[in-house]
Amino acid sequence: MEKIDPSAYRNIVFFTGAGMSAECGVPTYRGKGGIWNQYDYGEYACQKAFERDPEKVLRFHELRRRAVLDCQPHAGHRVVAGMPRSILVTQNIDGMHQRAGSMNVIELHGSLWRLRCDPCGSMREDPGDDYETLRCDCGNWLRPDITWFGDMLDESVMRMATEAIASCDLFISIGTSGSVWPAAGFPSLARDAGAFCIEINPEPSGAICYDLVIRGSASEALPSLFVS
Ligand code: OAD
């Protein structure tokens, strides 16, 4: 396999999706065993569902939190965390990168470990398995600080991600099906910026033509991708 010398690049961007966490035991969203094959997102992952039955939606997210806490980051997460001059943009809400030591993670779709109250604008970290509370101090239901179907992405987070990608010279996409926008447009943005683009995914993602495609798994491909 072609090895990459990271010292030849000034700005490296890792861009990850659910496939990055798959080998930890966290299910992906699509494909075999995918969350959206098992659960109807219209019942659990959109604002309308939350307004209809907030407790049901919060309990679903609690289940997901418990499942994630049973899992551990793998060697691929540690490679990403240890890479100098790199920025990490993730669609993952599971916090697995941070547990492996990544700092300043750009979380495009929010985090399972934060709750917010839209009526009063407050935000709280909640790192346990069960939520500490389902209600804000103001009395309203708290909601997971996650981008659900139909939600807009946080503008400042989106700006940080696009700025990083538009100025990178090495772009490594790992474990994403490229089917959710606007994140699905990131590989093209990197290619248009002139970056060397790599994809790690056991399945074709239908995205742009990458300069290097590794049809392998994140935990095996990442540790052997770079010259040491
Ligand atoms: P998907 O479930 O759509 O795609 C997962 C991708 O990971 C697929 O292309 C798999 O082939 C690949 N994959 C599976 N195992 C892998 C492994 N061991 N190593 C590398 N790749 C592997 O997940 P995303 O693209 O992340 O949104 O989905 C995008 C968004 O859709 C998610 O962020 C989520 C979902 O609705 C929110 O939660 C807001």
Contact 216 CB / ligand 1 (< 6 Å): no
Cβ neighbours of residue 10 closer than 8 Å, sequence gap 6 or more:
85, 169
Ligand 1 atom at minimum distance from 35 CA? 2
CB 217 near ligand 1, within 6 Å: yes
Question: Residues 130-157: what's their mean pLDDT?
Answer: 97
Residue reference for tokens 């509370």: 133
Overall fold of domain 1-25+73-109+153-228: Rossmann fold (3.40.50)
Q: pLDDT digit string (tens) for 45-60?
A: 999 999 999 999 999 9
Q: How far is the centre of ligand 1, averaged over its atoms, from the C-alpha of 20 (Å)?
A: 8
- The answer on pLDDT for 150 being more than 80 is yes
In the chain, % of residues over pLDDT 90: 91
> Active-site residues: which are they?
109
| CA of residue 106 to ligand 1 center, whole Å | 17
User: pLDDT tens digit string along 10-26?
Assistant: 999 999 999 999 999 99
Mean pLDDT value across residues 136-160: 97
Which residue, by CA, sits nearest to atom 26 of ligand 1? 17
What residue segments make up the domains of the chain, in order of their start? 1-25+73-109+153-228, 27-70+112-146
Give percent of the chain above pLDDT 70: 99
Alpha carbon of residue 102 to chain centroid: 13
Mean of per-residue pLDDT scores for the chain: 96
Determine whether the shortest distance from the Cβ of 21 to ligand 1 is under 6 A: no
So what's the pLDDT on residue 206? 72
The one-letter amino acid code at 55 reads E
Q: Which two tokens stand for residue 88?
A: 């990490």
pLDDT tens for 182-205 read 999 999 999 999 999 999 999 988
pLDDT (0 to 100) of residue 21:
98
In which band, very low, low, confident or very high, does the pLDDT at 1 lie, cut at 50, 70 and 90? confident
Please state the pTM of the whole predicted model.
0.96
The pLDDT, as a whole number, for residue 207 is 67
Give the residue whose CA is nearest to atom 21 of ligand 1: 175
**Å from CA of 30 to ligand 1 middle:** 7
Give pLDDT tens digits for 78-87.
Answer: 999 999 999 9
Query: Which residue, judged by its Cα, is nearest atom 39 of ligand 1?
Result: 147
Residue 228, pLDDT > 90, answer: no
Q: Residue 23: CB within 6 Å of ligand 1?
A: yes
Q: Supply φ then ψ for residue 187, to 5 degrees.
A: -60, -40
pLDDT value, residue 32: 85
**Per-residue pLDDT at 143 exceeds 90:** yes
Mean pLDDT of 119-131: 96
User: Domain 27-70+112-146: which topology?
Assistant: SIR2/SIRT2 'Small Domain' (3.30.1600)
Cα 51 to ligand 1 centroid, rounded to whole Å:
27
Q: Which atom of ligand 1 is nearest to the CA of 91?
A: 33
Closest CA to 7 of 84, 73, 118, 81: 84
